[in-house]
Chain A
Amino acid sequence: MSVTPLLEIKNLHVEFKVYGGVLKVLDGVDFRVNVGEKVGLVGETGCGKTTTMKAILRILPVPPARITGGEVLFKGRDILKMKERELRETRGRGISMIFQDPTAALNPVFTIGAQLEPVIRHASPENRRLSKKELRKLAVIPLKEVALADPERLLDAYPIQLSGGMRQRVCIGMALATNPELLIADEPGTSLDVTIQDQVLRLLQRLVEQRHSSVILISHTLGIVRQMCDRVYVMYAGNMVEEAPTRKLFANPLHPYTRGLMAAVPRLSGGGVAMGIPGRIPSYLHPPSGCRFHPRCPQAMEICKHEKPAFQQAEDDHRVACFLYDPAVAEPQKEATTA
């Protein structure tokens, strides 16, 4: 790992102060994106995917949120310590984001043009001196790129006049208009129909491949991540539980949670529906001690209740946070059972 990663999150802790206590949401998250890489982040509702991404852009509502520890290094500089001016440069030109719900991401009372033009204006120092006419000409380009018909007319349209798929295309165009080095796509197809989602994802894939941008794709659908990403992180209850290259992860999932999740997905080839994972996602107010997955884990051991497993290598590029793969713990256990 001599190459500096584009983005590196180290041991990030985020808490939310609420009535009744403190929600310990992110509990030591490690995450890395290399230049030109497409990284997937999978997990169920409430596991902390979006919180992690919002922490990267520093758009978490503070308070109630509080970052209690860790670093978010973008090209070696800690975003959490940046001054407002530097942060503004990083957002947009460095990192931009596509949100789950394009209807909520676009302001309903401004036209597409009125929302897109400021983005273009701030995309580069030269653009700041452009006239309105020139700006409008430039604003057509991102809309053309996302395969929207009649882009000139669209600039004068309000979001309500577009379909969900078109709105998400506008958001993608807007996010890529600044040529960001890193694009965060937070469930970009979830609010769309499956045939439209497929179109949007293929478009996104084509555009980022053209630009060699790095991408973080957040999803709760394993299939989407498999289709799009080079490397995948699996998250559960505020912890990273597994990380591997996509092919490896799907061929040989190690963590009991990842295995349960994959078994729970109904297959197109039939074979019935598995029972899923017993129990429910724990409350962040009183998270389980030790490994946060142990109350639902079919292979839980005594140590899992007391100690938190480290996120460490099980194979060369396959990391997992589970004592089953910790030689110091797993070997004596095996011996004990055989004896």
Chain B
Amino acid sequence: MSNDILTVENLKKHFVIGYTGLIHREPITVKAVDGVSFSIREGETFGLVGESGSGKSTVAYITVGMYRPTSGTIYLRGEDLFAQGDERPLRFKKEIQIVYQDPGSSLNPRRTIKDILDLPLRIHQPHKNRTLEILRLLNEVELPPDYMHKYPRQLSGGEKQIIAIARALASDPSLIVLDEPTSALDVSVQGKVINLLIRLQQELNLSYLFITHDLSLMRNVATRVAIMYLGKICEVADAAEFFQNPQHPYTQMLLSSIPVLSEEEEKLKPSKIHSIGEIPSPVNVPPGCSFHQRCPYVMDVCKVVDPVMVETGPGHTVRCHLFEQPPAPAAVPETSSTVEAAT
């Protein structure tokens, strides 16, 4: 426990998006995050994977303090991030920084790179020589010093994202939230950004909360992986274990859907399960297990009772009735031909 940098406990975020009726006005809520717990160890890359609407970005935004959770909380090295009301103390802001998905819109087009990097320095490192710091930051991310005077539009997509990383580093944080840092980039540029992030992590002993929908990328960067589906985590495991022994039916479906480049990778994909059905709207989450409508192993209990997290191996937890004790009756998967026909 002592080496956990971030502990998220039963985090919930419900957004009110409207009201029902005129007389009995009841709020209509979207349960964007609905009871998420995990912890990130010092120096590790914790991967959070999910499709759109799964709540992974909401978790990121709560972590950096853009939203207050509806309930539950987050601890940074044992200290409650939300203990002091709405305004988060500066020392917490300094420790947790974020890199957004689209560097085109996260960098102000009317500011030079110098101005962009200057702001966090002014706030978090007021006693340092800021020009020297900016040069140090640019050097750290392997960009030439004359980039200081450029505008974001003069940079390529990859370079913009590297500037966004430099901005996150400016406050000397210990945890960086990476919200799909390479999904707006071409694959030939992605490698440079990812390798930079890996090197910075080793040199500066950073911890990453790495959010992505790209499982192949996750396999290569994360130490541990969590899968989210409709506001809840379905499975958490060490990266190697996760890809060799995926247990939750949704994880298997996700893995089987990835387009791959070689036969070797093809063998790693669960072959019995194919993607079916639509992702339900987060406004109208199905009762019981939220995945039951798409699950090929669905049982009666899944439609009524929401499963709880159970440990199936060291560090491997799954939220599925198939793995709950006492052992559920052996589930017989529908033959793949019927699953295929349903698509």
Contacts and interface: CB of A to CB of B under 8 A. Distances in A.
Interface in A254-278: 260-262, 264-278
A197 interface: yes
A44 B261 contact: no
A220 interface: yes
Contact of A270 (B188, B219, B258, B343): B219
Contact of B188 (A194, A226, A264): A264
Interface string B255-289: 11111111011001100001110110000000000
A268 B188 contact: no
Contact of A221 (B220, B259, B269): B259
A226 B259 CA distance: 8
B233 interface: no
Contacts of A270: 219-220, 240, 243
A265 B192 contact: no
A268 B51 contact: no
A202 B336 CA distance: 14
A193 B213 CA distance: 8
Given A202-B343, A273-B194, A275-B195, A195 B257 contact: yes
B216 interface: yes
B188 A276 contact: yes
Contact of B261 (A147, A165, A226, A275): A226
A333 interface: no
Contacts of B276: 199
Interface string A275-310: 111101100000000000000000000000000000
A138 interface: no
Nearest to A219: B259
Contacts of B261: 222-223, 226, 250, 262, 265, 267
B221 interface: yes
B253 interface: yes
A265 B262 CA distance: 11
Contacts of A165: 278
Contacts of B158: 280
A227 B279 CA distance: 23
Q: How large is the interface on A (under 10, 10 to 19, 20 to 34, 35 or more residues)?
A: 35 or more
B192 A269 contact: no
A227 B191 CA distance: 23
A278 B274 CA distance: 37
A132 to B, nearest CB: 31
Contact of A198 (B215, B220, B275): B275
Interface in A183-204: 193-199, 202-203
A278 to B, nearest CB: 8
A275 B197 CA distance: 12
Nearest to B158: A280
Contacts of A222: 259, 261
A264 B258 contact: no
Contacts of B71: none
Given A163-B278, A268-B268, A280-B158, A194 B217 contact: no
Nearest to A162: B278
A202 B189 CA distance: 29
B186 interface: yes
A326 B194 CA distance: 35
B257 A273 contact: no
B278 A194 contact: no
A13 B186 CA distance: 25
A196 B258 CA distance: 11
A266 B192 contact: no
A45 interface: yes
B272 to A, nearest CB: 14
Contact of A195 (B214, B269, B275): B275
A6 interface: no
B219 A276 contact: no
A300 B214 CA distance: 33
A314 interface: no
Given A166-B278, A274-B191, A266 B214 contact: yes
Q: Which of A193, A227, A262 has the most CB of B within 10 A?
A: A193
Given A268-B260, A276-B191, A194 B51 contact: yes
B216 A265 contact: yes
B187 interface: yes
A198 B213 CA distance: 14
A194 B186 contact: no
Contacts of A273: 190-191, 194-195, 198, 217, 220-221
A224 interface: yes
A265 B198 CA distance: 17
Interface string B182-209: 0000111111101100100000000000
23 contacts: A45-B186, A194-B213, A195-B253, A195-B254, A196-B51, A198-B257, A199-B275, A220-B186, A220-B187, A222-B259, A222-B261, A250-B261, A266-B190, A266-B194, A267-B216, A268-B219, A268-B268, A269-B262, A269-B265, A270-B243, A273-B191, A274-B191, A278-B192
Given A195-B257, A268-B260, A273-B191, 10 more contacts: A166-B278, A194-B213, A195-B275, A196-B275, A223-B260, A226-B261, A266-B194, A270-B240, A273-B190, A276-B190
6 closest A-B pairs by CB: A223-B259, A276-B191, A198-B257, A193-B51, A195-B275, A277-B188
